A and B are shown apart, each in its own frame.
Chain A
Amino acid sequence: MIVEATGLHKAFGSTKVLEGVDLHVAEGTVFALLGPNGAGKTTTIRILTTLLRPDLGSVRVAGHDVVREATKVRGVISLTGQSVAVDDQQTGWENLVMIGRLMHLGRPAARRRATDLLERFDLVDAMNRRVKTYSGGMRRRLDLAMSLVSQPKVIFLDEPTTGLDPSSRTTMWDAIKDLVSSGTTIVLTTQYLEEADRLADRIVLINGGKVAASGTTDELKSQVGGDRLDLRFAAETDVAHAAALFDAPRGTDPLVLGIPSDGSAEHLHRVLDDLRIAGVPVVKVSSHRPTLDDVFLSLTTTDRTPARV
């Protein structure tokens, strides 16, 4: 495990933010931290990146303790925080070379690296302009580029794609995939569940200061239930009939019946055959796979709306 956090507690005054969070991130994987606003994602990232001390608990990154060996940890990680961290009064080029120098690359190496990154993040045309003239998306791309200067072992990204347009987001996702294929470990937080779904090998959902769920995306999805067939009928009597036939509970929509499914064509055939034999006409059939949104909502909303129809 390249990142091992155990029993993290953190309070700000009387606000208890983390109350015993454990995280384990395997080397070379993408790890996503999800949670509603204010759940403590940024706080967790700040602790993992040596910026904040936990009140209780311990963290090791690449074998180094984040409190006692902060400098060693800083040598192998990089952070892209939730808000963009660039110098507005320096140019993109100056920002990148500065970080290269601070990571102790020689001057020529720092320049080469800056050139590569400007190309990769499509900032070559703007490299000699001061960052204050950049658009929001350009600033975010530069911010990310600055985090990649040192080719760190573990990259922490706090909501890296918030505010990016779809094409910049894709660029970003590609960059993340490239990094992972070269062996880098990624720890990210995101509000876009699709992003976690696409990128993450493991997901941890925090809520109320604790880990509410963790696992692969598939594991989390199966936690809120498997695939489902939604059958729409023309009359309520048909719905009642079908409900009796499949022994399925009726949902909120009086004309729709949801029945558990394994998602196979075989099962769909059998259901339609049964209905035909019983003489119950179906208007429409749709199949529904649970998404991470379902997981997120069912685990974070307190007054739960039924996840299943």
Chain B
Amino acid sequence: MTTIAVHGGARNAVSDSLTMIGRSIRLSRRNVDTLIMSIVLPLLMMSLFVYVFGGAIDTGTQYINYVVPGIILLCTGYGAASTAMSVADDMTSSMIDRLRSLPIRSSAVLTGHVAASVVRNLLSTTIVIGAAIAMGFRPNATVTDWMLAAGLLLLYVLALSWLAAGLGVIAKSVESASTLSFLMLFLPYLSSAFVPTHTMPSFLHAVSENQPITPVIETVRSLLTGTSIGNTGWIALAWCAGLLTGSFILAAWLFRRRTNG
């Protein structure tokens, strides 16, 4: 009989996570609906905002230069919703029992989903930027600016993906996971993503100024268009780091609670 190293610390934890990441990426590559959505949706949103709404919105600059970060975050929201759905799908299938009966840290299941989510977001973000440039987006950013923007977006995507994973864990079905993710899709509209917040009624203005999406968008926008950031960058960073920590802890806790019948 082969002996198997069972409780072999960090190295196994990393290899388990890598295996589960490989699985989730394979699964999402083969889930045609989700894949098409993460490619088509960015294109659709870009065209809609630039050609349909854009002409009517005055932002003081070329609208396309204004709206790109908003569309990236909007797509991130959709990406998160599909992450919540694929987690819920796993949680309600019998595969979760098999995975749980293996000697692995069970959070590796969620790690896999989150990593696949990041990869899907990378794809849609690249498409947004590519399409934007084709439509006349002219960023004015140094390599450092691009890297800072990418770093902040990565942090935001990670935070949102863990939050989505948590929602997927508490959802009783795939449908309810998609319902629960509604807020993540809705928040970008209540931010400075598409219109400057000072044009909103004062109540909404207060909401939009005090939610994470506005500072993230403002920061990315400033980085890409080469304008000054002020302290918005730090606010965005604090939001993302806080959100990431909170949702990671929450998701892991919910997972343990749900799976310890």
Which residues of A line the B interface, CB within 8 A? 46, 49-53, 71-72, 74-79, 81, 83-87, 89-90, 94, 98-99, 101-105, 109, 130, 146, 150-151, 153, 182-183
Tell me whether A90 and B26 are in contact (CB under 8 A): yes
Tell me whether A183 and B1 are in contact (CB under 8 A): yes
Tell me whether A104 and B98 are in contact (CB under 8 A): no
Tell me whether B1 and A102 are in contact (CB under 8 A): no
CA distance A94 to B115 in the complex (A): 19
- The residue of chain A having its C-beta at the shortest distance from the C-beta of B16 within the complex is A102
Chain B residues near A85 (CB, 8 Å)? Answer: 93-95, 97-98
B105 CB to nearest A CB, Å: 8
A22 CB to nearest B CB, Å: 21
Counting CB contacts under 8 A, is B27 at the interface?
Answer: yes
B80 CB to nearest A CB, Å: 21
Counting CB contacts under 8 A, is B134 at the interface?
Answer: no
Counting CB contacts under 8 A, is B61 at the interface?
Answer: no
Counting CB contacts under 8 A, is B19 at the interface?
Answer: yes
Chain A residues near B201 (CB, 8 Å)? Answer: none
Tell me whether A105 and B94 are in contact (CB under 8 A): no
- Chain A residues touching B, majority SS: loop
- The residue of chain B having its C-beta at the shortest distance from the C-beta of A184 within the complex is B1
Given contacts A101-B15, A103-B102, contact A79 B1 (CB under 8 A): no
Chain A residues near B15 (CB, 8 Å)? Answer: 101, 104
A107 CB to nearest B CB, Å: 10
Given contacts A79-B97, A151-B2, contact A89 B7 (CB under 8 A): no
CA distance A52 to B95 in the complex (A): 15
Given contacts A51-B261, A75-B4, A150-B4, contact A87 B102 (CB under 8 A): no
Counting CB contacts under 8 A, is B12 at the interface?
Answer: yes
Tell me whether A90 and B23 are in contact (CB under 8 A): yes
Residues 148-187 of chain B, each 1 if its beta carbon lies under 8 Å from chain A, else 0: 0000000000000000000000000000000000000000
Chain B residues near A183 (CB, 8 Å)? Answer: 1
Tell me whether B2 and A130 are in contact (CB under 8 A): no
Tell me whether B103 and A83 are in contact (CB under 8 A): no
Counting CB contacts under 8 A, is B6 at the interface?
Answer: yes
Chain A residues near B7 (CB, 8 Å)? Answer: 71-72, 75
Counting CB contacts under 8 A, is B104 at the interface?
Answer: yes
Given contacts A51-B261, A90-B26, contact A79 B5 (CB under 8 A): no
- The residue of chain B having its C-beta at the shortest distance from the C-beta of A143 within the complex is B98
Chain A residues near B97 (CB, 8 Å)? Answer: 46, 51, 79, 81, 85
Tell me whether B26 and A94 are in contact (CB under 8 A): yes
Given pairs A50-B101, A87-B27, A99-B102, 16 additional interface contacts (CB within 8 A):
A49-B101, A52-B261, A71-B103, A72-B103, A83-B94, A85-B95, A85-B97, A101-B15, A102-B16, A102-B99, A102-B104, A103-B103, A104-B12, A104-B103, A151-B2, A183-B1
- The residue of chain B having its C-beta at the shortest distance from the C-beta of A89 within the complex is B30
B119 CB to nearest A CB, Å: 16
B36 CB to nearest A CB, Å: 15
Tell me whether B6 and A71 are in contact (CB under 8 A): yes
Given contacts A74-B101, A79-B98, A87-B95, contact A103 B4 (CB under 8 A): yes
- Across the interface, A74 reaches (CB within 8 A) one of B12, B27, B102, namely B102
CA distance A105 to B23 in the complex (A): 17
Chain A residues near B261 (CB, 8 Å)? Answer: 46, 51-53
Chain A residues near B31 (CB, 8 Å)? Answer: 89
B49 CB to nearest A CB, Å: 33
Tell me whether A86 and B95 are in contact (CB under 8 A): yes
Counting CB contacts under 8 A, is B260 at the interface?
Answer: yes
Tell me whether A75 and B27 are in contact (CB under 8 A): no
- Can you spell out 27 A-B residue pairs with CB atoms less than 8 angstroms apart? A51-B100, A51-B101, A51-B259, A53-B261, A71-B103, A74-B101, A74-B103, A75-B6, A75-B103, A79-B98, A81-B94, A85-B95, A89-B26, A89-B31, A98-B19, A99-B98, A102-B16, A102-B20, A104-B4, A104-B6, A104-B12, A109-B2, A130-B30, A150-B4, A151-B2, A151-B4, A182-B1
